[in-house]
Amino acid sequence: MEALIAVCILIFAGMFYYLFFSSRSQIFGRFPYHLKTKEKIIALTFDDGPNPPFTEKILNILNRYNVKATFFVVGKNIERNPDLARAIIYAGHTLGDHGYSHIFSKYFTDFSFKSEISRAQIAIKRITGKTPALFRPPWLFRHPWLLSTLKQNNLMPVSGVFGSELEIFQPPAEILVKKAISKIRPGIILIFHDGYNTKRGSRSQTVEAVNLLIPKLFDLGYKFVTVDHLLNVPAYQ
């Protein structure tokens, strides 16, 4: 009996994760993590920034390789680092909305996520002059009410595939690169993190991983595009 209960719990947990957290689930509506294509293109994305000095280091690497990426920024972080947010735009990258505070409890106190979305949109517009048309929910958590809020605000939800589920622990860059390469497919949206929620967490191994990964993917024949170009949608409203 205990074994049966354990199996049922595991099944329920797996279903819950797939419905609300999985990067690939489309149950509640369109949540693109890739584009069906045979062309060797990928969209490199970064979440939770801006976060000095790691965002600057990533920008320098992208500039060196002439790669454009998409940064899903947190409202509080962009208010702390306005010049860095503007540097992302100035370098030709795309800015997306990643919520204002990146606190998971906000999903329960602000169930529709209206405040989190609108506060981030206002902050991004005030600082960069741009109003994003792309939104990635923190932890990829979503439900029908959140998606309804995005639709009301002319925002498109964007998913992606994590370069490595271990990135939060910052293992050696070589491990991050190996895992990311195993997930690369034409049209994939790849997720890394230049920040850590609203904290100033270290992303040194991510920086080195990006530096190693880009030339490896060039060698495999891939080219990089921003999410808006990949999905053929507007970047800004």
Mean pLDDT rounded to a whole number for the chain: 94
pLDDT band at 18 (very low <50, low <70, confident <90, very high): confident
Q: What is the pLDDT of residue 42?
A: 98
Cα separation, 54 vs 181, whole angstroms: 22
Rounded CA separation 171/221 (Å): 27
pTM score, whole prediction: 0.95
DSSP type of residue 139:
G
Cα–Cα distance measured from residue 43 to residue 53, given in angstroms and rounded to the nearest whole number: 23
CA distances from 200 to 56, 75, 95, 107, 196 (A): 13, 14, 19, 22, 6
Q: Residue 3: pLDDT above 80?
A: no
Residue 4 has a pLDDT of 67
The C-alpha torsion from 197 through 200 and 206 to 210, rounded to 10°, is 90
| Cβ contact 71:46 at 8 Å | yes
Please report the domains of the chain, with CATH numbers, ordered by start residue: 32-231 (3.20.20.370)
User: Cβ atoms within 10 A of the Cβ of 60, count?
Assistant: 13
Which pLDDT value is given to residue 222?
98
Residue 159's CB: how many other CB atoms inside 10 A?
A: 21
pLDDT at 168: 92
- If one compares 120 and 111, the residue with the highest pLDDT of the two is 120
The predicted-structure confidence for 145-191, as pLDDT tens digits, reads as follows: 999 999 999 999 999 999 999 999 999 999 999 999 999 999 999 99
Instruction: Report how far residue 165's alpha carbon sits from residue 10's, in angstroms, rounded to the nearest whole number.
Output: 20
